Chains A and B, each alone.
Chain A
Amino acid sequence: MKNGKLLEVNNLTKVFTKGQGFVKSTIEAVSRVSFALELNQPEIFTLAGESGSGKSTVAKLILGFEEPTAGGILYRGRAVANLKGRKEFMKDVQPIFQNPFETFNPLKKVQSYFFETERNFTGSGHGSYPLTDKSLELVGLSFAEIKDKYPSEMSGGQLQRASIARALITSPSLLIADEPVSMIDASLRMSVVNLFKTLKEEEQVSIIYITHDLATAYYISDRIAIMLRGQFVELGSVKKVLDNPLHPYTQLLESSVPAPDPKARWTEDIALSDLETREYTRKGCKFAGRCPKVHEICYEQEPEYHSVDERLVKCHLYAQDQVRCSSRPQIS
């Protein structure tokens, strides 16, 4: 295949409606989100943000679980919404979910998921399953470890790796992982995170990694998009964005990651979030109610994307000085 985009998301918007008639209210869960992943250039792209920021909705839209209200998703140059060969798309894009104990049916043996996927993929009947063995090997498990086992007999880390192995049977080019490590024990978490890194480097798989844990995002990803109430507020390489955050919301997020060090405790207090719906329906910048550097204009006018210091920032602060403002402004 020629060079191009693996996945292109243009002005993706999803509106949820609640109620009917006079009491109808709408929420823009995803609002004009755009990004692209290059073909033949695997990367780990992180979507980060607090709960209710719409990051899981983006994943559902890409996977086709939800229909976008507006905007489009192009996969290898073709629109996902009306793909003729939907099966091809599903082979190539695989999801990994948050809780491995909910991914697998507790009454079914884990191996049956592997056999079913491989049968559907290759079309061959019963007998041997070479792809199952191969994909389990990739995640550091052996078939003997999952043979005849039910999900309850395995640890969370093992099961999550099994769930990744199942996704790898079809040798996908894109994995969409929605909070894949948040349910896994601390001592096993890094084994899964490291696995994503190896998959990218050795198997050329691109990964959309959805998380609220900035520490693991920093550890594995190449690019990061910070989401707030359905919008991207900052998008750029992970080193740029997290080492030197520009948007006040990113700065808040970055400083709220607890450091595993008793000498670096939080000392200053932060403003807590308004009711969610109030932030979603705000006219200007969605962060205006909590922003320590808020101006009049923030309440009235939605900020544009500004390209500052090799990244995109959606904030009025950077409207004039797109070039000048390369250092990190201090929060007083």
Chain B
Amino acid sequence: MAILEVKDLKAYYITHRYGRTTSVKAVDGVSFKVEKDEIYGIAGESGCGKSTLLKAISGLVKPPLQILEGGVTYNFDGERLNILALNDEKQRRKLRGARLSLVPQGSMSVLNPVRRVRKSFEDVLYAHFDLSEQEFEDVVRKHLDALGLDWTVMHTYPHQLSGGMRQRITIALSTILKPDIIFADEPTTALDVVVQRGVVQLIKKIKEEQQNTLVLVTHDLSIHANLCDRLAVMYAGKIVEEGEVDRIFSTPKHPYTIMLLNSLPKLGDSSPRSSAPGAPPSLVNPPSGCRFHPRCPYVMERCRTESPDLIEMGNGHRVACFLEEGSK
């Protein structure tokens, strides 16, 4: 049973200035399902709309971001819920933290620099429950113990902690209420390899203990390879390929995925590698047809005018490319 179902989601940033309207088509017709208890990865470069997608599915829609079409349906123990249709912000606030929670990008800007870490934990817990001080300490202490964090961090200010420690606290903060589904936005970016491994270790541990579903967004394909069950690759606001992580890494189909995987350097291998020509497109004026066509080595006449849909290749592997249409 899918815990999250996103259907034809279109989220644009629309601004009006001097009578001119500009729309940034950050998420343009995205559909996918996330099954219960799985780790679903979303990969893509900066500016491909992956953070906007997360904002939209967690209901954090504020102007200039607008949802033009589509729905985001959650299924919490049989209770179906369209988060975009809720028009009361209070109801959404009840959901956040308890049912779904977001591990945001950039741990320095998550924790308030002028308040001790304890205050942030108080904010989260007191928003949902009426607790006495003793109960609060018990809950937090138990959670920190489980994650291998020391109680002393509660008395520190964020600037006294290293980047890795702050990231671990951010993760602890967003999982304290045992949410059903966790969205992690670049949780390991800007951390060095050893700390990154520690954070991945922590995420795995939480998932095992709390039995929740995880949606992991990062540009780092190696992290996806290490954690995810299924992976979606985004390019310029659209999903271009989706499937089980083993299949994507062993038999990538979309030229963009192939190019991304080929450009990854590996330890113990210094054979020449190259990047694709060109740069990711601007989402204000995305290319016509298939959005990858200006950089694609296999571009055909058709790609310039028509936009390919995701085609099922078997075993849940979906690709949006005209090249695969014949071989289906």
Residues on A facing B (Cβ under 8 Å): 49-52, 155-158, 182, 185-191, 193-194, 212-216, 218-220, 242-243, 252-254, 256-266, 269-270, 272-273, 275-276
Contact = CB atoms under 8 A, between A and B. Distances in A.
Contacts of A252: 194
Interface string B141-164: 000000010000000000000111
A188 B274 CA distance: 9
B164 A272 contact: yes
A50 B249 contact: no
Contacts of A220: 270
B146 to A, nearest CB: 14
A185 B273 contact: no
Interface in B35-74: 45-46
Given A51-B162, A190-B273, A191-B275, A273 B223 contact: no
Given A190-B263, A219-B273, A266-B200, A261 B225 contact: yes
Contacts of A276: 162
13 contacts: A50-B192, A50-B194, A51-B163, A157-B279, A185-B45, A218-B266, A254-B267, A256-B193, A258-B200, A258-B222, A259-B226, A262-B249, A273-B198
B206 interface: no
For this complex, into which size category does the number of interface residues on chain B fall? 35 or more
B23 to A, nearest CB: 19
B250 to A, nearest CB: 8
Given A187-B263, A187-B276, A259 B222 contact: yes
B197 interface: yes
Interface of B: 45-46, 148, 162-164, 190-198, 200-201, 219-223, 225-228, 245-246, 249, 259-261, 263-270, 272-276, 279-280
A72 to B, nearest CB: 29
B226 A258 contact: yes
In order of increasing CB-CB distance, the 3 nearest A-B pairs are: A258-B222, A155-B279, A50-B192
A52 to B, nearest CB: 7
A215 B225 contact: no
A297 B160 CA distance: 31
B296 to A, nearest CB: 12
Contact of B195 (A155, A269, A273): A273
Given A256-B194, A261-B225, A273-B194, A187 B275 contact: yes
Contacts of A158: 279
Given A215-B267, A266-B200, A270-B198, A260 B275 contact: no
A258 B226 CA distance: 7
B249 A261 contact: yes
B198 A272 contact: yes
A261 B197 CA distance: 15
Contacts of A262: 225-226, 228, 245-246, 249
B46 A185 contact: yes
A214 B225 contact: no
A157 B273 CA distance: 16
Contacts of A253: 193-194
B197 A270 contact: yes
B268 A243 contact: yes
A275 B150 CA distance: 11
Given A252-B194, A257-B222, A270-B201, 5 more contacts: A187-B259, A190-B273, A191-B275, A216-B265, A258-B226
Nearest to B201: A269
B260 A187 contact: yes
A50 B198 CA distance: 13
A260 B268 contact: no
Contact of A50 (B45, B195, B269): B195
Nearest to A213: B193
B164 A273 contact: yes
Nearest to A254: B267
A88 B198 CA distance: 45
B251 to A, nearest CB: 12
Given A212-B192, A215-B264, A273-B194, A188 B275 contact: yes
A186 B162 contact: no
A219 B266 CA distance: 8
Given A260-B249, A262-B225, A218 B267 contact: yes
Contacts of B46: 156, 185
A262 B251 CA distance: 12
B225 to A, nearest CB: 5
B221 A260 contact: yes
Contacts of A266: 197, 200-201, 226
Nearest to B149: A272
A256 B276 contact: no
B223 A258 contact: yes
B227 to A, nearest CB: 8
A92 B221 CA distance: 38
* Residue of B164, B190, B249, B265 contacting most chain A CB atoms (<10 Å): B265
Contacts of B249: 260-262
A220 to B, nearest CB: 8
Nearest to A49: B192
Contact of A185 (B194, B219, B223, B228): B219
Contacts of A156: 46
A194 to B, nearest CB: 7
A156 B280 CA distance: 10
Contacts of A242: 267-268
B86 to A, nearest CB: 35
Contacts of A157: 275, 279
A189 B245 CA distance: 23
Contacts of B148: 272
Contacts of A265: 225-227
Contacts of B264: 186, 215, 260
* Residue of A186, A189, A265 contacting most chain B CB atoms (<10 Å): A186
B194 A218 contact: no
A79 to B, nearest CB: 33
Contacts of B245: 262
